[in-house]
């Protein structure tokens, strides 16, 4: 098979959650364990950090990978889903895995695919582990796909576990209460392995505490270690002052990810780095500063308040659930644009009412959909939005919607593309 044929096989022959939704989700680790056993358990051949959470786990994964790279460690990074190229999921020191590797790995496990019928995600997890082992990485950052306890990535024994936060998402799979969702995410907490919690509340904290106690895992609350005393945002970066709670010592950082929500993620990353240093890793302050200033260059992260154009301000953001949209709406207010144009598409299994309730009523809307079976029809989205007094026009193709927004916007306006990773991934200007 060629690389293109291999991807077509992976995308079409195997159940893929990002395309079809719940039917592709496997609620146990059997297939992943079998796949990895068949290739010699590569996940045991390198060190890992495991990151779960409703929002922020992608940014946190990339920021931590950038820090470890800058400190001189050969760093693997596994994330999902991808925006444009499948190989974005599997990187070493910011470089995507090779096309030949994807072809060879897929062909090599065809007998196992035929025997156990794994999902797309189960195969990509095994593929990532094999690549990191072959590349002899010093450490790999492994982002959870969905949940934690039953996620395919949860066969590793990491150096450190991180849970960024808990919010309302994937309730059809993870549970209809924050307690149930937190229980699933807490499933990545392992015996005697330290865990960092980015954000918590009165509902989720006891869930994390119980799991950590049961596993004798030291637990650290990022927001109790540090706080952001000041920040300022420009189009392409955010300047953040972080204060230590124990001594009020302050440090200034520049982060090339200008989303306001990064003020929370940075605290999680700094706490993680402190724990890693205590555990024998060597990460200097200069490495941290260098990494934060160049996360996108070092790791290839995209779609987090990503500015493509300044007049008008054209921004891509993968926010797609209640908590993510809350942060994006807050940033819209900070921008202070003359008019706001929102290009939005969503998938069928999201809590759309909660998202639509949060969006600004006075914005101009361009409703669209991603080219995947799971995408919600743009006409339905427009009708649902109208019931919330959000009005606009619908477009079958994402880039037609973006072009219309650019046509109608003045240089003082903001154009935001959001609602789905798969919408953001299609944008070309």
Residue-level pLDDT at 168 = 60
Q: Is 388 exposed, middle or buried (0-12, 13-18, 19+ CB in 10 A)?
A: middle
Instruction: State the Cα–Cα distance between residues 178 and 357, nearest whole angstrom.
Output: 20
φ, ψ (nearest 5 deg) of residue 32: -65, -45
DSSP per residue over 73-119, as a string? Answer: --EEEE-SS-SS-GGGGEEETTEEPPHHHHHHHHHHTHHHHHHH---
- Residues recorded for the chain: 429
Confidence at residue 166, expressed as pLDDT on a 0 to 100 scale: 85
Q: Which residue has the tokens 């919010």?
A: 167
Residue span(s) of the chain under CATH 3.90.190.20 come to: 306-424
CATH 3.40.50.300 fits 306-424, yes or no: no
Which spans in 336-410 are helix H?
A: 352-358, 378-386, 398-408
- pLDDT recorded at residue 173: 56
Its CATH class, for the domain covering 3-299, is alpha beta
**CATH 3.40.1190.10 residue spans of the chain:** 3-299
State pLDDT tens for residues 296-333: 999 999 999 999 999 999 999 999 888 889 999 999 99
State the 10-residue block means of pLDDT for the chain, 429 residues long. Answer: 93 63 62 96 98 93 98 97 94 98 97 91 96 98 92 97 80 69 94 97 94 98 96 94 94 96 96 97 98 97 94 94 91 94 92 92 97 93 97 97 98 96 92
User: Residue 420: helix, strand or coil by DSSP?
Assistant: coil
Q: Is the whole model's pTM more than 0.85, yes or no?
A: yes
How far are the Cα atoms of 240, 345, 370 from residue 409, in angstroms, in the given order? 31, 19, 23
Q: What are phi and psi of 183, to 5 degrees?
A: -60, -45
Residues 248-279 as b/e (b if ≥16 CB within 10 A, e otherwise) read eeeeebebbbbbbbbbbbbbbbbbbbbbbeee
Q: Quickly tell me which residue has 């144009």 as its tokens.
A: 341
Q: What are phi and psi of 312, to 5 degrees?
A: -75, 165
How far is the CA of 108 from the CAs of 35, 40, 43, 105, 114, in angstroms? 11, 13, 17, 5, 12
- In 3-state terms, what secondary structure has residue 36? helix
Question: For residue 243, what are the β-bridge partners?
Answer: 227, 250
């Amino acid at each position: 098979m060629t690389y293109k044929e291999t991807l077509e096989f992976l995308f079409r022959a195997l159940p893929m959650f990002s395309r079809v939704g719940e039917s592709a989700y496997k609620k146990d680790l059997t297939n992943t364990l079998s796949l990895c056993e068949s290739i010699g358990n590569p996940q045991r051949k390198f060190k890992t950090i495991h990151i779960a959470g409703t929002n922020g786990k992608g940014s946190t994964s990339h920021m931590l990978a950038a820090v470890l790279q800058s400190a001189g460690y050969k760093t693997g990074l596994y994330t999902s889903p991808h925006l444009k190229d499948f190989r974005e999921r599997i990187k070493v020191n910011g470089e995507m895995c090779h096309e030949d590797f994807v072809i060879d790995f897929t062909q090599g496990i065809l007998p196992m695919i035929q025997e156990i019928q794994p999902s797309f995600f189960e195969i990509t997890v095994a593929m990532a582990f094999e690549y990191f082992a072959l590349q002899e990485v010093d450490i790999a950052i492994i982002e959870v796909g969905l949940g934690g306890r039953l996620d395919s990535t949860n066969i590793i024994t990491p150096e450190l576990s991180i849970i960024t936060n808990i919010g309302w998402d994937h309730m059809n799979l993870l549970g209809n209460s924050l307690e149930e969702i937190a229980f699933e995410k807490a499933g990545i907490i392992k015996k005697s392995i330290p865990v960092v919690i980015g954000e918590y509340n009165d509902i989720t904290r006891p869930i994390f505490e119980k799991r950590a106690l049961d596993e004798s895992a030291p637990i650290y609350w990022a927001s109790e270690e540090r706080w952001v005393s000041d920040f300022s945002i420009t189009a392409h970066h955010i300047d953040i002052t972080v204060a230590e709670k124990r001594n009020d010592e302050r440090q200034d950082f520049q982060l090339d990810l200008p989303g306001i929500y990064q003020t929370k993620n940075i605290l999680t990353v700094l706490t993680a780095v402190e724990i890693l240093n205590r555990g024998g890793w060597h990460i200097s302050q200069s490495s941290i500063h260098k990494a934060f200033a160049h996360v996108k260059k070092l790791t290839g992260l995209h779609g987090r308040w990503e500015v493509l154009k300044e007049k008008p301000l054209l921004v891509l953001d993968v926010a797609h659930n209640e908590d993510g949209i809350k942060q994006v709406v807050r940033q819209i207010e900070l921008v202070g644009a003359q008019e706001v144009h929102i290009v939005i598409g969503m998938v069928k299994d999201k809590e759309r009412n909660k998202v639509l309730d949060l969006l600004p009523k006075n914005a101009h809307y361009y409703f669209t959909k991603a080219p995947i079976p799971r995408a919600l029809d743009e006409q339905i989205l427009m009708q649902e939005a109208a019931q919330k007094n959000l009005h606009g026009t619908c477009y079958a193709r994402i880039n037609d919607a973006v072009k219309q927004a650019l046509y109608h916007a003045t240089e003082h306006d903001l154009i935001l593309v959001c609602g789905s990773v798969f919408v953001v991934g299609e944008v070309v200007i």
